[in-house]
Structure 1
Amino acid sequence: MKFFIDTANLNEIKEAYDLGVLDGVTTNPSLMAKEGISGDENVINHYKAICDIVDANVSAEVIATDFEGIIKEGKELAKLDDKIVVKVPMIKDGIKAIKYFSSEGIRTNCTLVFSPGQAILAAKAGASYLSPFIGRLDDISFDGLDLIAQIVHIYQNYGFETEVLAASVRHTMHLVKCAELGADVVTCPLKVITGLLNHPLTDKGLAQFLADHAKANK
């Protein structure tokens, strides 16, 4: 499973990269705004800075919602770096744009996916990644993990090459369950990834080892 970090914070990206498990970054306008990044030039420069840190897979989202606008923005983003994956919304013109980008060899991430039907359309259009939003489904009393299971099963049935990128991952159990279900990628905050480090028995065992070492060396 690939680990992407869902942020625009350069310090968090560096920390995740230094941990040795980072495979990519996903961003969106909301995450950029959270870091105080605004204006086209500043956003572009920030994407470049992210690409300078990671080895691959930086999802950069288009703002346009019409076919021509998505194509224009997507081409500009793709030119920034080979690591860029153009993030396109699950809308009619978005699917058309994904088909176009696929034919041009530009990688895409189809975002804001909430149903198996949407997942099928994105895969048939040639999306590189598909982002079902687990947490947002949980928020409205639907089981987001069920959607991951459905999509993984459908993609396996037909050999679709689109990778399932579980998004809106809120906690470590989301991440672990996605791994069990066969999601190709998870994208989440840094705290979810570092949360995998924690177990009370590890802490207890280490404390005991250190205490025993201290006694033996008095």
Structure 2
Amino acid sequence: MSVYLDTSDIEQIKILSDLLPIAGVTTNPTIVAKSGVKMLNLLPRIRDALDGDGLIFGQVISTNADDIVAEALKLNQMVDNFIVKIPVNMQGVKAIKRLKNEGVTTLGTAIYTSQQAFFAALAGASFVAPYINRIDMLTGNAIETVESISNLLSHHAQTCQILGASFKNTKQVIDCLSIRQASVTIPVALVHQMMENPCVNEAIDQFNQDWLDCFGSLSH
């Protein structure tokens, strides 16, 4: 079980990777476009923000297998511990299979169905990323889909990991993490929602006040 940040916000990557056990950072073309910085310059900044640790995921924009492979090989040279994200359709699975033979680690993304995940894993993807909220909006059964993927992987591709993505609320995150083999990548705003609870601060204030009332200062 691992938690990744789904962002290109360099300052938040620095802050949250210092505070929390973050395994790395995921991006996609939309996230990169929002940063206004192309991958060639963005990926090294993310690597520095992670202090050289963790995995970095970046996605191809090519759409046919030959171009996907060429782009993936180029991206794979930009930073260490890089995982190439490839949308899972016919051309994507073909590219994943070829990249496996090239020794390039891949993640099958844009997963809406268990059969997509199955073929991506069988082709050699090390990760598959089901789109939790998007599946929920289409069918309302995202967690059941992740459970089905988990069962398929346990039988047919034990080395492939689930990396849940596309979350809109904290319940979706926790429900996904409750499934075997599942890790998650979370937007920065949701990370803060998960960890910032006013009740905790109220409890700390009460503990400190009780200590002050008894001992006169916050010291041992």
- TM-score (ref. length: structure 1): 0.91
Q: Deviations over 1:41-74 (max 9, x none)?
A: x321111111223212111111100111101110
> How do 1:50-89 residues align onto structure 2 when only pairs under 5 Å count?
50-54=46-50, 55-89=53-87
CA distance in 2, matches of 1:201, 1:155: 39
Give 2:84's aligned amino acid. Answer: V
Contact 1:123 1:160 in 2 (8 A): no
Q: Secondary structure of 1:187's match? A: strand
Structure 1 residue 200, shift from structure 2 partner: 5.4
CA distance in 1, matches of 2:2, 2:75: 22
> How do 1:7-46 residues align onto structure 2 when only pairs under 5 Å count?
7-37=7-37, 42-46=38-42
CA distance in 2, matches of 1:203, 1:124: 47
CA distance in 1, matches of 2:155, 2:210: 54
CA distance in 1, matches of 2:18, 2:104: 28
CA distance in 1, matches of 2:134, 2:16: 24
Bigger shift: 56-65 or 172-181? 172-181
Kindly, what percent of the aligned residue pairs are identical? 30
Contact 2:60 2:86 in 1 (8 A): yes
Bigger shift: 107-116 or 15-24? 15-24
Give 2:158's aligned amino acid. Answer: F
Structure 1 vs Structure 2 CA RMSD: 1.7
Give 1:35's aligned amino acid. Answer: S
Contact 1:130 1:163 in 2 (8 A): yes
Match of 2:160?
A: 162
Match of 1:138?
A: 136
CA distance in 1, matches of 2:25, 2:87: 17
Mark the runs of 5 or more structure 2 residues left unpaired by the alignment.
Answer: none
Q: Deviations over 1:122-159 (max 9, x none)?
A: 01001011000001112224221111111111111234
- TM-score (ref. length: structure 2): 0.91
Structure 1 residue 195, shift from structure 2 partner: 2.7
Match of 2:106?
A: 108
CA distance in 1, matches of 2:31, 2:167: 15
Distance 1:159 1:98, change over 3 A: closer
Q: Secondary structure of 1:140's match? A: helix
Give 2:5's aligned amino acid. Answer: I
Matched, 1:186 2:207: no
CA distance in 2, matches of 1:201, 1:81: 41
CA distance in 1, matches of 2:206, 2:116: 52
Partner residue of 1:124 out of 122, 125, 139 = 122
Give 1:50's aligned amino acid. Answer: I
Contact 2:121 2:157 in 1 (8 A): no
Contact 1:98 1:126 in 2 (8 A): yes
Distance 1:115 1:141, change over 3 A: closer
CA distance in 2, matches of 1:193, 1:28: 18
